Amino acid sequence: MLELFSSVQGEGLLIGCRQIFLRLAGCNLCCAYCDTDFAPSAHCRVEQQPGSGQFVLWPNPVALPMVLGQIRDWLQQAPGAHHSLALTGGEPLLHGALLRDWLPQLRGLLPVQLETNGTLPQALAELLPWLDFVAMDIKLASQTGVPTPWAAHDEFLRLAAQRCCWVKLVVGPGTATTELEQAAALVVQRAPAATLVLQPRTLDHRCSLSAAELLAMQTVVAGLGVEVRVIGQMHRYLGML
């Protein structure tokens, strides 16, 4: 485990909701735009007072009772403040066995949102009963630098559609209309109730696209019958974790 903190969700459909973030190490992808250090570490950093920027280091592997104790403290300090728990990484679905163990108790404290790259459908299938929200990326080759894993995304989205789910597309300079069309078609086919979020790539702390470029992309996706939102990474602007 790499991080445990209480913040405000800065992306996707739960933007603005207070959440506890649990970040796990490791990833099966290497997106060119990735803003997160997910390398395994000997320590997990745990923010003390939320927003303080003061961390204590817990040695890895962290045991579940430590995590539950810290979350209970935050919930008691701020009654009713938290909406849910965000499980992120790295790619959290690489830790299927651990999550199978942990999720029943974590979900006893808060509803659970999974942040995922949408490439590990088998792992998702095993954890679905303990997930309330699934925020899935479709990884566009123009931004990641590697071909989009369309087949894995297809299988993944079929499963995610059994939960409250939305799809994030990180878009940026070079994103092709054909990519947007293919992603929108997949959503229409596999999860017609899901919203598609256009998330502009953040580069050097700024939005990498102009207003005109974002609106043009929004027009393409909306024209294909998908519910669409344009949402940037708000936590960066707020200066939050």
Ligand X SMILES: C[S@@+](CC[C@H](N)C(=O)[O-])C[C@H]1O[C@@H](n2cnc3c(N)ncnc32)[C@H](O)[C@@H]1O
Ligand Y SMILES: Nc1nc2[nH]cc(C(=O)O)c2c(=O)[nH]1
Query: Does residue number 235 form part of the binding site for ligand Y (CB under 6 A)?
Result: yes
**Residue 7's binding partner out of ligand X, ligand SF4, ligand Y, none, with CB under 5 to 8 Å set by partner kind:** ligand Y
Q: How many CA atoms lie within 13 A of 44 on its CB side?
A: 23
Q: Rounded to an integer, what is the distance from CA 36 to the centroid of its chain?
A: 12
Q: Is 9 assigned a ligand-binding role in the annotation?
A: yes
- Mapped onto helix, strand or coil, the DSSP state of residue 182 is helix
Measured CA to CA in angstroms, residue 23 lies from 35, 161, 226 at distances of 13, 24, 30
Q: How many CA atoms lie within 13 A of 191 on its CB side?
A: 26
Q: How far apart are CA 178 and CA 156, in angstroms?
A: 21
Q: Is 201 annotated as a binding residue?
A: no
| Binder of ligand X out of 198, 199, 209, 228 (CB under 6 A) | 199
**Which partner from the list ligand Y, ligand X, ligand SF4, none does 202 bind, CB cut-off 5 to 8 Å by kind?**
ligand X
- 196 touches 170 (CB < 8 A): no
Per CB under 6 A, 37 contacts ligand X: no
Q: Does 45 bind ligand Y (CB under 6 A)?
A: no
Q: CB nearest ligand X: which residue?
A: 35
Using CB under 6 A as the binding rule, the residues of this chain from 118 to 157 that contact ligand X are 137
Among 3, 24, 201, 226, binds ligand X (CB under 6 A): 201
Part of the chain binding ligand Y (CB under 6 A), chosen from 48-56, 67-75, 149-157, 233-241: 233-241
Is 210 strand, coil or helix?
Answer: coil
Q: Point out which residues bind ligand Y (CB under 6 A).
A: 7-11, 21, 36, 88, 115, 235, 240-241
